[in-house]
Structure 1
Amino acid sequence: MKRFIPTSLAVLAALIHSHSFAYPATENISHYTVGNPLDQPRQQVLAIPLKSAPQGDLLVTANGAEIPSQTTATELLVALELDAQKHTDIAVHQLINGKPELSYPKQTYAELAVRVGGQVDDKGHYSGGQYHPVSQMQLPPSHSIGNKLFKYEGFGWESEQVAYRYYFDHRGAVDIFGKVKDGLSLADTGLDGGDYHSLSDWGMDVLKVGPSLGIGAVGAWVDNALIKPDPVQNMTVSIADGTLQSSATVTHSGWSMGDKTLDLTTRYRIRAGSHLTRVDVTADALAQLATGIVKHGVQVLTYAPDDGKWGYIATFGNQSLNDDDLGMAVFFPMSAFDSFQTDAANELVVLNNQPQAVHYYFGAYWSAHPNGPQSADEFKSLLRNEIEQLNHPFTLTPSKP
C-alpha cells in the first residue's frame, strides 16, 4: 500500500514550526464521528457527501491509522468496521499543494469488455482478437444476441461476494454470477473457451432469466402491465470501476411507448462487502415503474410495513442453474411503494415515480456461497438483517479534533 508521503513543502513547514515561526498549512483536515446504531457489529462503506469535486484523492485516518477510501466527484467513500452501539472518530486529509497516492486492494469491479482485433463471419459472429474493457460504449445497430462482441453478452459489476451482469441489448435484464468463495472474478469470466454456465473454481451463472427482468432490472408499469425499455433509438453505457464502489450507468434514449418518446437512465452500483446493488432510475415522463424477480414457482416473501422505511419482495428455493437453493430480493423505500403485482414471468413491485428519481436495492444469496442461506428460515433472517441496516445506516456527525 502506498502511503501518504509529505511533500517538500510539508517538510519545510515542519522545520519552520520547530523554530516557532508562522508557516503555511499543507493540508485541510475535517473531523467526523461515525456511529453504529445497531445492536450488532457491522462492516460497511460509509459515504460522506462532498460539496465540490476535490482536486485529487482524499486520505482518511481513524485513530491515527490510514483506512481504505475512495474519492468520487460527489462522495468520499470510507470502509469502516464498528462494534455494536459503538462510535469512532475519523479525519479526512486534503493536501493543498499535492495529491496523495493511494492504493488499496480492490474489493469491487465493473467492466464492459469489447472484442478488439477479431474477425466477423457472414452471420455477424465475432471470433479472435482480445477483449478490452472500455469506459463508455454505444450499442452498435448491427449487434445481435450471442454474437460474442461483448464478454458474457453485456456489462457486469461485482463485490467479492456476488457478481451481476446486464444483457446489453433489447432484453433489458439482470443476471447473477454466484460465487463459491469470496473474490473478484469478472475479469476472467466470459473469455473464449470458457463456460460460465458450468461450475468452476469461482462459481457460475446461477439464474435462468428467460423473458423476465431477471433480478432488479426496471421497466414501466402502464395499464397494469410491465413494459420493458424497447424499442429505443440507442443504448449507451458508462462504467465507473473503483476500489470500494463500482457502477454501470445505462441510458435508453428515444424509448417509444405508445404516444410517448422518453429517455430512461439507470445506474447500478455495488459497494465493498455487500451483496446489494443500488439502482437509481430517472424517467421523468413515467408515473410508475416496476421491478422484480424472475418467477420460478418457489416461495415468495413480501414485506411492506406501514411504519417502516424499507420493504421487500423476495423469493427462495431450488431455482439456481446448479439445482440448489437461491434467494433473491428487491428492497424498496416505502415512500415510493404502490403495490405488489405478478405477470407470466415476474414477481413484481410497482413504485411511484419520484421528482428526485427512484432508487431501490436488489441482492442475490446463493446457498453454495460460504455464507449463503441453507434454509428458508436463514434467508428470512438475512432479509431482516438487510432491512435493519437499510433502516439504520451509520451516523455521521462533524466533530472537533
Structure 2
Amino acid sequence: MKWMVLASLLYAALFGCTADSSPVIRLINQDNVEKTGAIVYLDKNDIGLIQGNLRITSSNYEIPAQQIDTDGDGDWDQVLLLCDFEPKEVKALEIAADKADNQISAEPYTNISFSVKAQDRFAGSKITEIVRKRGATQRISDPFFQLEGPGIENDKVAFRTFFDPRNGKDIYGKTTDQMILDRAGIGSSWHQLSDWGMDILRVGQSLGAGGLGVIEEGTLYRLGDADEITYQELYSGDLESSHRLEFKGWDSGSRKIDGSERLTLTKGKYYYRNDIGISDTTLTLAVGIPSFKSDSVTFRKHNDLFSSISTYENQADGTDSKLGLAVLFSSDQYVDHGSTDTTGTVSDTHYVALKGQPETRIYFFACWELSDVYFSKRSNFEEYLQKEADKLSNTIQIIKK
C-alpha cells in the first residue's frame, strides 16, 4: 500500500495534478534566458478534449488562451497560449472542458476589418468571405472596399492587403493599443497623423510590405492578379487573427500557378506571419520591401534557422520619423537578395529570392518610432529583430502526459 501512495505523490510532483484531475501538458523553456510573450500552439489531438470551451491553468493561474480554426471549417483545431517563462522554467498546464465561456473577454488585442467602402461615419457591411475574378480593379480615390482590401491589426501595428491586381501590402503605424481599422479613413485621411496613427508606407509600383513576386530569367514579376481569388477570414480573436487568400491561375511571370497566402498577426508583435503556398516549386519566390527612402538593404544571418533582409531609415511616409522594415525567412531557402530600379512593372523594391517550396513561411516586421520610442535607434530595431528570430528558432518544448 505504501508504494502506491508514494507513486501517487511522485506523479503529482512531476505533473502537478492528481489522477482525478484534468489532462496535463508540460511546457518547457529549454533556454537559460527569460521569454516574455512566448507563443505556444497546442493541437486538438494533443489535448484530447474536443467539445466546448477550455479552461487552462498553471499553478492555479489561468493562462490566456484562444481556440482557433486554422482551416476555416468552423471547428477549432488548435489552442493558442501566450506565456511568460523564467529561464529553464517548466509549466504544468491543467486543461479541462468548461461549460462557461472562459475565453478572454477583455478588450481584444487583434482584429480583422474588411468591408465595402464606408458611408459617412460608419463602415459598410463586414466581409468574411468573397470571390473576385481577374481584372477587378479599384479607383484609389474612390475604392470599392474601405481599406482597398482586408486589414489586420494588433495592439502594435496594422497591415492591409490590396484586394485587386496589385496584391500589395501596406502598413498603418499605430500610436494606440486600441483597435482602429474599423474607423481608419472614415471622415479623415489616413495619410495624415491622427489620434490612432497613420498610413506610413509608400507602396507605388513596389511589392509593398512583404508583397510577393517571382524571379524569372533575372526579372522580378509581381504575384498579383489571378483568374480567381478567394478571401476567407479564418478567425479574429483576443490574442490572434488570421485570414487567407487562395489564387487559381495566379500570374507568375510567363506561367500560371495555384497558390495561397495566410496572414496571421498575434498580440504584442510588430510583425505578421505569412504562410505561402505555391503549386510550382521550380519557381524562385521573391518577398519585397519598398526602397523609396532606402538606398541599401542589410542581409543578416541571425542563427542556424533564420536570416533577414532589412532597412532602417527616416522612411515613414508623410513624417520625418524612423521606420525599420524587415523580412525574416528560413536560411535554407535563401538564394540571393537585390533591388530593382525606379522603372519597370515592379520598381523601387528591395527583395530576397527564396527557393520554391510547396509551403514557405516568412515574417514581415514594421517597427515605427512613433509606436514605440525604443525604435528611434537602429541598434534597438536590430536587437528586436535578433531577439524575435531567436525566439522563433528556440520554441517552447511541449511534453504530453
- TM-score, normalised to structure 2, is 0.83
Aligned to 2:72: none
Write the distance in 2 (CA, Å) between the matches of 1:190 and 1:139: 24
Letter in 2 for 1:158: E
One of 292, 296, 305 as aligned partner of 1:296 = 292
Aligned to 2:13: none
Residues 15-30 of structure 1: matches in 2 within 5 Å? 29-30=23-24
Question: Which range moved further: 226-235 or 151-160?
Answer: 226-235
Retained in 1: the 8 A contact 2:335–2:355? yes
Q: Deviations over 1:317-347 (max 9, x none)?
A: 1111112110001100112222112212211
Question: Which range moved further: 257-266 or 282-291?
Answer: 257-266
One of 330, 334, 341 as aligned partner of 2:331 = 334
Aligned to 1:315: 311
Tell me whether 1:261 sits opposite 2:249 in the alignment.
Answer: no
Aligned to 1:19: none
Write the distance in 2 (CA, Å) between the matches of 1:253 and 1:79: 35
Cα gap change, 1:267 to 1:53, in 2 (>3 Å): farther
One of 281, 284, 290 as aligned partner of 2:276 = 281
Write the distance in 1 (CA, Å) between the matches of 2:193 and 2:100: 44
Retained in 2: the 8 A contact 1:111–1:241? no
Unaligned runs of 5+ in 2: 1-18, 69-75, 342-347
Letter in 1 for 2:89: K
Aligned to 2:114: 112
One of 374, 391, 394 as aligned partner of 1:392 = 394
Please state whether the residue corresponding to 1:150 is helix, strand or coil: coil
Letter in 2 for 1:236: T
Cα gap change, 1:253 to 1:152, in 2 (>3 Å): same
Tell me whether 1:180 sits opposite 2:175 in the alignment.
Answer: yes
Aligned to 1:54: 50
Retained in 1: the 8 A contact 2:55–2:102? no
Aligned to 2:350: 347
Letter in 1 for 2:255: K
Retained in 2: the 8 A contact 1:46–1:78? yes
Cα gap change, 1:28 to 1:135, in 2 (>3 Å): farther
Tell me whether 1:137 sits opposite 2:130 in the alignment.
Answer: yes
Q: Deviations over 1:349-390 (max 9, x none)?
A: 1111224x1111111000111354112222222222122212
Residues 1-400 of structure 1: matches in 2 within 5 Å? 29-35=23-29, 37-51=31-45, 54-72=50-68, 73-95=76-98, 98=99, 100-105=101-106, 106-115=108-117, 130-139=123-132, 143-146=137-140, 147-191=142-186, 193-239=187-233, 240-257=235-252, 260-287=255-282, 288-298=284-294, 299-304=296-301, 308-321=304-317, 322-344=319-341, 345-355=348-358, 357-399=359-401
Cα gap change, 1:371 to 1:43, in 2 (>3 Å): farther
Retained in 1: the 8 A contact 2:167–2:225? no
Write the distance in 1 (CA, Å) between the matches of 2:20 and 2:34: 39
Write the distance in 1 (CA, Å) between the matches of 2:272 and 2:371: 17
Retained in 1: the 8 A contact 2:281–2:357? no
Write the distance in 1 (CA, Å) between the matches of 2:20 and 2:153: 37
Write the distance in 2 (CA, Å) between the matches of 1:199 and 1:211: 24
Q: Deviations over 1:133-153 (max 9, x none)?
A: 221112366542323321121
Unaligned runs of 5+ in 1: 1-24, 119-126
Q: Percent identity?
A: 24
Deviation at 1:57, TM superposition (A): 2.7
Please state whether the residue corresponding to 1:132 is helix, strand or coil: coil
Letter in 1 for 2:129: Q
Please state whether the residue corresponding to 1:172 is helix, strand or coil: coil
Please state whether the residue corresponding to 1:133 is helix, strand or coil: coil
- TM-score, normalised to structure 1, is 0.83
Letter in 2 for 1:302: F
Retained in 2: the 8 A contact 1:110–1:158? yes
More strand, by proportion:
1
Retained in 2: the 8 A contact 1:197–1:205? yes
Please state whether the residue corresponding to 1:384 is helix, strand or coil: helix
Letter in 1 for 2:55: L
Letter in 2 for 1:85: K
Deviation at 1:190, TM superposition (A): 2.6
Q: Deviations over 1:70-119 (max 9, x none)?
A: 11232110121223332322222135xx5645343211111211248x7x
State the number of aligned residues. Answer: 361
Retained in 1: the 8 A contact 2:285–2:353? yes
Letter in 1 for 2:379: D
Cα gap change, 1:262 to 1:80, in 2 (>3 Å): same
Please state whether the residue corresponding to 2:390 is helix, strand or coil: helix
